[in-house]
Amino acid sequence: MKRRTTLKAGVALAAMTLAGAAFAADPIVIGAVAPKTGPLAGGAAVTHWPNIQLWVSEVNGRGGLDVGGEKRMIEVIEYDDQTNPQETIKAVTRLATQDKADFVLAPYSTGLNLAAAPIYQRFGYPQITSSASTDQIVELSDKFPGMFFLLGQNREIVGDAVSILNALREAGEIGDDVAMVNVADAFGIELAATAKPIFEEAGFNLVYETSYPLGTQDLSPVMKAAKAADPDAFVAWSYPPDTFGLTEQAIIEDLDVKAFYTAVATAFPAYGERFGAAAEGVMGIGGVNTASPEFQDYAARHMEVTGQAPDHWASGMMYASLQILEQAIEGAGTIDREVVTQYIKDHAFETVMGTVDFDEHNNNPEYWTVGQWQNGEFKGIASTGRDGAVPVLIKEGWE
């Protein structure tokens, strides 16, 4: 008796599954390759993976993507590239050839995106990058016409930071003396190398300048020396661990500056949580228009679905890249990769970060460059054409 019930239930279930399969269209297979282990796993866990989770749950919650009048669910296949470009290449190839993915989301970080670019190109996937930072956009989009760049360019990110200090100086808030430090690794070196001539051209004195190796635990000598130089402003081209480390030391040393800037991870929610009121007035890379209802709504959904808040730099861009893909597929009404790629080039897209309209080099010309912690939120204070920048605050102590 018992067995028969189970059997009946089984038959019923099978019948339902069959019926379901007969009615629903095939899902759209989307590949995702990014670090789950290795040096960049931490950053990807904040910026990359949660957005994919959010996007998939929302799209499928709506019943899928509308492709030419037919609703199609999305099915995501995720691979860990171990922060190793060889593995990224293998995983994207595997997605294209074995999993027959209809689209593959862009990988995480500059290096992994560029290593995979020839494979995206070969299989005709649009590659909408939201975490690749390069000053070779013209050459790269020429060679890889399906590669798009959302995050912006270093010289504008650095240039705007200097302009903010310049404005403070002209307002009489700070003097000429700047202490500048950088982490001795790819992105930190590049930012510092870009910044130095811009500072000098603007007539600032670099009263203290140094670099420290990647992974330095004890940053107190750096901060002590910076303090001894008595600067008006402190600028660090830093990575996540040292962004936290330098801020901590600045609090300990009670560094008396009117402008304090740390680079990557200043926009992370964890920064505000860790330093609380002391974070007030700290500037960093990124920023968003926190007054925008679209962004507020996105942040709330992000929190609800993934249990964590988005960062205020690349998170929104990552989500925007997914919105662009979604709108392009629905707008083009097909999953033909070539048509979708062309659609992305030809159209503007409404995203949580505002309208994105790629220029002739597949570059997003409008993005946030500098943000600042104000009233417990990291807000955009400078951008290359976004609305909603708030006025800059003077850093007043660490209490």
Partner 1 sequence: MTARDWQKLITAAVLLGIAALLPLTGNAYWLSLGVSVAMYTVLATSWALFSGPTHYISLATAAFFGVGTYVMGSGIEVMPYWTLLPLAALAGGLLAALVGLATLRLSGVYFVIFTLGLAEMVRQCVTWYQNQTGHKGTYVLTELTEADIYWQLLGLAALVYLAGWAIQRSRLGFALRIIGDDEEVAAHSGINTALVKVALFVVSGLVAATVGAIIAPRYVYIEPATAFAPMLSFQVVIMALLGGTGRLWGPLIGVIPFTLLWEVISASFPNQTTLLLGLCFLLIVYVLPKGFVGLMQRLDLMRQGREAFA
Residue with Cβ nearer partner 1 (118 or 397): 118
Residue 110 in the binding site for partner 1 (CB under 8 A): yes
- Residue 93 interacts with partner 1 (CB under 8 A)? yes
According to CB under 8 A, which one of 29, 36, 345, 365 is a site residue for partner 1?
A: 36
Choose the binding region for partner 1 from 193-201, 298-306, 345-353, 370-378 (rule: CB under 8 A): 193-201
Distances (CA, A) of 96 to 62, 144, 148, 334: 26, 17, 19, 18
Tell which one of 153, 194, 315, 323 touches partner 1 (CB under 8 A).
Answer: 194
Give every CB contact of residue 209 below 8 A, 6+ residues apart in sequence.
179, 180, 181, 196
Report the C-alpha gap between 65 and 228 in whole angstroms.
59
196 is a site residue for partner 1 (CB under 8 A) = yes
Give helix 337-346 / helix 314-332 axis angle, nearest 10°: 120
Could you say whether residue 71 binds partner 1 (CB under 8 A)?
no
Tokens of residue 55, six digits: 């996007």
Of 287, 269, 354, 310, which is closest to residue 53 (Cα–Cα)? 310
- Helix or strand run (H / E) with residue 383: strand 377-383
Q: Give the N- to C-terminal CA distance of the chain in Å, as an integer.
A: 73
Q: Does residue 91 belong to the site contacting partner 1 (CB under 8 A)?
A: yes
Among 96, 233, 235, 255, binds partner 1 (CB under 8 A): 96
User: Should residue 82 be labelled a site residue for partner 1 when binding is judged by CB under 8 A?
Assistant: yes
372, 392 in Cβ contact below 8 A? yes
Q: Is 209 in the site for partner 1 (CB under 8 A)?
A: no
Q: Which residue, 93 or 166, is less far from partner 1 as judged by CB?
A: 93
State in angstroms the smallest separation of the CB of 165 from partner 1.
Answer: 20
- Residue 277: DSSP 8-state: G
Residue numbers at the binding site for partner 1 (CB under 8 A):
36-37, 39, 78-80, 82-87, 89-91, 93-94, 96-98, 110-111, 114-115, 117-119, 122-123, 134-136, 139, 143, 182, 184-186, 189-190, 192-194, 196, 211, 213-214
